[in-house]
Chains A and B, each alone.
Chain A
């Protein structure tokens, strides 16, 4: 069981027998008023989205989803192929089902495939992954404390903002949930 204060982006809840994922979340509270939890929810089976505002007294069931460890193999015509490491069974996810995870699909990366009654619905990646910076402007020395960031590209083609001292070819750690830079990885 979850209460409204557990709501956050990525939480999966069950409503009217369907699994939903919270795709946007905001805590709002008018002065002296009650806490409100504004969510955008996506039906994980048919993809329908809607907004709903919850209150702190609201409770939710967790969505009853199975997770299976699979490895990412390849992408072809908008389909993303994963393979079960034990049975060698292969499944396909659409671009929509993969969502933002597609920015971080490294070759052979091990991911959790979500299943609802044996139907693949989505993928969740490890929270932190290490990636190589494939494109970055050189660091203008002396610019280290100005608070500036610069855009870099990683091996999947994804772009993000990093501190100015990150150079091409370096390895960095990314939080796959927010898509944000965390730290430089040595060695």
Chain B
């Protein structure tokens, strides 16, 4: 049997808006992924630690706090620091993110940013297509 893709759905920072994260976690699970949800108010260190410990293929970070440019690169750096390899993972961000910041986040190693209203089927397709592509490039 093919190994299931493991996804960490993470809430980082003080932001409590978890509707998007929870709905996503539910739908990814129903789409055949193995999903770990961090719960609320995690620090970048805690999210990175969970990503490494759980040996996930995808890290999906949800923020509606405007703190994405500060917190997302920290998560990526800590993953590396804790012995994970962000180049072997998909790093995804979802939430209220202005267009200019999407460009910035991609420079920081984020593979894609999903804005409010993105159909979850689109996220599922993205993961299935891009994960093997990214790993092949390596």
Q: Do A and B come from one complex?
A: no
